[in-house]
């Protein structure tokens, strides 16, 4: 599936291919600081940006960077550097109706003031990292 999106001011837009509509919410402290709450992101197979000169990139760890519009500040993506894997912020997509919450990660870092309804997998940070290690082997 392909989907389009843009930042708040429209200086950065994108077309993504292989969009997974089952998205995950991350409650880690870094995502909370970056997004002002949990981050919702959808993995994509590939993405093409227009207005790429307006994208700021912040290396938030040795293995990942976060992208945002330098003009309006909209969060655009989380990118795993080693395999160039993009996870696009749900709110940047033009059509949000296609997405559904399929899981939550870092639930051990979630503040107590909210809970998401529904039955879906919920992993602590340790469980998620173990899962990712298993996926890589």
pLDDT tens figures, 34-63? 999 999 999 999 999 999 999 999 999 999
pLDDT for position 137: 47
The model's pTM: 0.92
- For tokens 């059509």, what's the residue? 95
Q: Among 106, 107, 66, which residue's Cα sits nearest to residue 87? A: 66
Judge whether 120 and 29 are in contact, CB under 8 Å.
Answer: no
pLDDT in tens, the chain (137 residues): 999 999 999 999 999 999 999 999 999 999 999 999 999 999 999 999 999 999 999 999 999 999 999 999 999 999 999 999 999 999 999 999 999 999 999 999 999 999 999 999 999 999 999 988 887 74
Q: Which two tokens stand for residue 37?
A: 């709450």
Find residue 72's DSSP bridge partners.
none
Q: Quickly count: other Cβ atoms within 10 Å of residue 43's Cβ.
A: 17
| Euclidean distance between CA atoms 85 and 43, whole angstroms | 8
pLDDT for position 55: 98
Using CA of residue 39, residue 86, residue 78, residue 6, what is the dihedral sign? negative
pLDDT for position 134: 87
């Amino acid at each position: 599936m392909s989907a389009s999106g843009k930042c708040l001011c429209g200086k950065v837009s994108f077309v993504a291919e292989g969009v997974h509509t089952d998205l995950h919410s991350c409650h880690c402290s870094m995502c909370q600081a970056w997004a002002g709450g949990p981050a919702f992101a959808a993995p994509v197979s590939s993405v093409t940006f227009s207005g790429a000169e307006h994208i700021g990139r912040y290396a938030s760890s040795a293995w990942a960077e976060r992208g945002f519009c330098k003009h309006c500040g909209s969060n655009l993506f989380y990118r795993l550097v080693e395999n160039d894997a993009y996870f696009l912020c749900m709110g940047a997509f033009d059509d949000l109706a296609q997405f559904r919450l399929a899981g939550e990660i870092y639930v051990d870092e979630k503040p107590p003031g909210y809970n998401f309804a529904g039955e879906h997998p919920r992993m602590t940070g340790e469980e998620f990292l173990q899962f990712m290690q298993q996926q890589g082997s």
